[in-house]
Amino acid sequence: MTQQIQPIFILPENTQRSTGKNAQRNNIMAAKLVAETVRTTLGPKGMDKMLVDSLGDVVITNDGVTILKEMNIEHPSAKMLVEIAKTQENEVGDGTTTAVVIAGELLKRAETLLDQDIHPTVIAKGYRLAAEKALSILNQMAENISENDKSMLKKISITAMTGKGAESSKEHLSEMAVTAITSIVEKDKETGKTIIDLQNIKLEKKVGASVEESELILGLVIDKEKVHYGMPKQVRNAKIALVDAAVEIRSTETDAKIHINDPMQMQAFLDQEEKMLRDMVEKIAKTGANVVFCQKGIDDVAQHFLAKKGIYCVRRVKKSDMEALARSANGRIVTNFDDLSEQDLGSAGLIEEKKVGDEMMTYVKECKNPKAVTMLLRGSTEHVAAEVKRAMEDALGGLASALRKGKIVAGAGATEMELARHIRKYSETLSGREQLAVNAFAEALEIIPRTLAENAGLDPIDILAELKAAHDKGMKWAGVDVFNGKVMDAFANDVIEPLGIKTQAVSSAAEVAVMILRIDDVIAAAKSSVPPMPQGSMPGMEM
């Protein structure tokens, strides 16, 4: 009797599975492709990408993380590379392309080692050792910076903006960035640590003027107009009341009805209402306030009284704007008119209503020591304005990172080159196969200067050889001069970056490379075409 062998299924039908070398190669290939895509945008001479989404909206950008987010990547290990770009963006605000490019190169070098039959765990270990070493070398290499060193801060900002859409106005925009950051920087009273909350710099973009016309307002711009035409268009030496209460007669909570039998009674009722509103306005005026920002509504009758007193009022201001106003004008938000006193008032040199584009806005300007500021970023088209905003975000992120750590390094590939040199030396202290992996890590870092050179149309082999020679001679900040096609001292030539960009890029690139290398089995469930079960339905029920 022949026994029939039944096949066993442990996975559902249509599950896709790849194992061993196959899985590894596919993962590496996908990650390499992602890195290759953003590589051409790196550096001052990098190109831009035009991304068109499914609705036909167009984004033109040079910013690594923006490109990757818009690409809608599906492959799981390619997605991991997108994740490091996002982390880089959140943690340091710049250097997203750098992180992804290094990760891609680490995987490419790993592939060569795999071809030589070196086990992935050995490569993973080597990469980890190298990354650890890299961080300690970076910390030793870095130079110090303080918030008083405005000229150095400006260099950081200019480096971050070089090659972006904002390039042509980078001087002006960098001045703005440095002033903004140094106004909002604070010191923790206990630890003495530098605290920077970038939320306190509000970025508003408005189309219709050249980038050069962008301005920094030491205060806020609120996209609201004054409530009544009779109010002044401008208030100098503003004393500002911030109220989170309605300047209205509250309607009755329950459905109470008021019976009026006689016209006199009606008049008395209205007079009473008017008097209450007049009292509220009186209370505000008595504090000396000449400007009111109200988070709630302001009654028409009250508006009229306020206008007669020459008080500038804005109603229904967003909560976040109210909080920012309190920080800019140094005032206190009051929830009850009875509590409002002179001490609660904020101050600003000038408040005015102005037309920007085709909208009316209220400017709160010339605040003394504002702890929240606004940048009005302009561009001739939506695309330009959006790219200027992204460049500004990179610059502010870079400045914040530099000040938080208080450390900077040179860019232009100088730091990566010097790191590679140290790590190569370190590899000589290791044995056999690990040495190969650590060496591969060092070579992978050279992808940054190589790419900067390639993107500038230079011969990467010549430049890299020259760079290596310079570093061996002790020029630790030797980097690529992409504009003149030679080697330069990047620090002396003002190409300065925060240390945080480099430490974050190196450590997250190494982490993701190691994670991808250690995968030897990919089990992908078939894409479900049925919508998720509605809540409460029984699992296992036939659909």
Residues taking part in catalysis: 63, 96-97, 394
**DSSP code of residue 297:** -
Is 163 among the residues that bind ligand ADP (CB under 6 A)?
A: yes
- Rounded to the nearest whole angstrom, what is the least distance from the CB of residue 413 to ligand ADP in the complex? 6
- Rounded to the nearest whole angstrom, what is the least distance from the CB of residue 387 to ligand ADP in the complex? 12
Is 98 among the residues that bind ligand ADP (CB under 6 A)?
A: yes
Rounded to whole angstroms, the Cα distance separating 507 from 419 reads 13
Is 24 among the residues that bind ligand ADP (CB under 6 A)?
A: no
For ligand ADP, what does the binding mask look like between residues 418 and 457, x meaning CB under 6 A?
A: ------------------------------x---x-----
Among 185, 423, 482, 513, binds ligand ADP (CB under 6 A): 482
In this structure, what token pair is assigned to residue 170?
């980078």
Q: Exposed, middle or buried, 116 (CB in 10 Å: 0-12/13-18/19+)?
A: exposed
Is 497 among the residues that bind ligand ADP (CB under 6 A)?
A: yes
Q: Which residue is nearest to Mg ion (CB)?
A: 94
Contact between 510 and 6 under an 8 Å Cβ cutoff? The reply is: no
- Rounded to the nearest whole angstrom, what is the least distance from the CB of residue 380 to ligand ADP in the complex? 23
- Rounded to the nearest whole angstrom, what is the least distance from the CB of residue 162 to Mg ion in the complex? 8
DSSP codes of every residue in 294-337: ESS-B-HHHHHHHHHTT-EEE-S--HHHHHHHHHHHT--EES-G
Is 401 among the residues that bind ligand ADP (CB under 6 A)?
A: no
Residue matched to tokens 């206990």 = 190
Contact between 364 and 330 under an 8 Å Cβ cutoff? The reply is: no
Is 126 among the residues that bind ligand ADP (CB under 6 A)?
A: no
Is 44 among the residues that bind ligand ADP (CB under 6 A)?
A: yes
Is 391 among the residues that bind ligand ADP (CB under 6 A)?
A: no
Interactions with Mg ion, residue window 384-443 (CB under 5 A): 394
Interactions with ligand ADP, residue window 331-370 (CB under 6 A): none
Size of the site for ligand ADP (CB under 6 A): 23
Among 45, 81, 94, 464, binds Mg ion (CB under 5 A): 94
Q: What is the 3-state secondary structure (H, E, C) of 38-54?
A: HHCCCCCCCCCEEEECC
Is 104 among the residues that bind ligand ADP (CB under 6 A)?
A: no
Residue 408: which of ligand ADP, Mg ion, none does it interact with, CB under 5 to 8 A by kind?
Answer: none
Is 397 among the residues that bind ligand ADP (CB under 6 A)?
A: no
Residues written for the chain? 543
Q: Which helix (H) or strand (E) holds 97?
A: helix 96-115
Region of 88-96, 220-228, 315-323, 533-541 interacting with ligand ADP (CB under 6 A): 88-96
CB of 98 or CB of 200, closer to ligand ADP: 98
Is 495 among the residues that bind ligand ADP (CB under 6 A)?
A: yes
Residue matched to tokens 């492709």 = 33
Is 204 among the residues that bind Mg ion (CB under 5 A)?
A: no
Q: Which residues of 346-385 are buried (b: 16+ CB within 10 A; e: fewer)?
A: bbbeebbbeebeeeebbbbbbbeebbbbbbbbbbeeebbb
Residue 397: which of ligand ADP, Mg ion, none does it interact with, CB under 5 to 8 A by kind?
Answer: none
Q: Which residues of 491-512 are buried (b: 16+ CB within 10 A; e: fewer)?
A: bebebbbbbbbbbbbbbbbbbb
Region of 36-44, 351-359, 431-439, 525-533 interacting with ligand ADP (CB under 6 A): 36-44
Residue 332's closest CA among 418, 244, 443, 437? 244
Q: Which residues of 239-275 are buried (b: 16+ CB within 10 A; e: fewer)?
A: bbbbbebbbbeeeeeeeeeeeeeeeeeeeeeeeeebe
Would you give the distance in Å from CA 383 to the centre of its chain?
18
Phi, psi of 536 (to 5 degrees): 95, -15
Is 89 among the residues that bind Mg ion (CB under 5 A)?
A: no
CB of 394 or CB of 481, closer to Mg ion: 394
Is 141 among the residues that bind ligand ADP (CB under 6 A)?
A: no
In this structure, what token pair is assigned to residue 106?
């680490």
CA angle 138–144–145, rounded 5-degree value: 130
Residue 453: how many CA atoms within 13 Å on its side-chain side?
24
Rounded to whole angstroms, the Cα distance separating 512 from 518 reads 10
Rounded to whole angstroms, the Cα distance separating 273 from 250 reads 10
Region of 37-45, 69-77, 265-273, 429-437 interacting with ligand ADP (CB under 6 A): 37-45
Is 95 among the residues that bind ligand ADP (CB under 6 A)?
A: yes
3-class SS of residue 19: strand
For Mg ion, what does the binding mask look like between residues 352 and 391, x meaning CB under 5 A?
A: ----------------------------------------
Q: Which residue is nearest to ligand ADP (CB)?
A: 411
- Furthest CA-CA distance within the chain: 111
Q: What crossing angle do the helices spanning 120-141 and 414-427 adopt, rounded to 10°?
A: 120
Is 497 among the residues that bind Mg ion (CB under 5 A)?
A: no
CB of 142 or CB of 292, closer to ligand ADP: 142
CB of 98 or CB of 401, closer to ligand ADP: 98
Is 183 among the residues that bind ligand ADP (CB under 6 A)?
A: no
CB of 222 or CB of 453, closer to ligand ADP: 453
Residue 412: which of Mg ion, ligand ADP, none does it interact with, CB under 5 to 8 A by kind?
Answer: ligand ADP
Q: What crossing angle do the helices spanning 170-184 and 382-405 adopt, rounded to 10°?
A: 50
Is 500 among the residues that bind ligand ADP (CB under 6 A)?
A: no
CB of 163 or CB of 460, closer to ligand ADP: 163
Region of 8-16, 42-50, 268-276, 534-542 interacting with ligand ADP (CB under 6 A): 42-50
Rounded to whole angstroms, the Cα distance separating 500 from 65 reads 17
> Which residues of this protein are in contact with ligand ADP, per CB under 6 A?
41-44, 46, 62, 64, 94-98, 159, 162-163, 411-412, 448, 452, 480, 482, 495, 497
> Which residues of this protein are in contact with Mg ion, per CB under 5 A?
94, 394
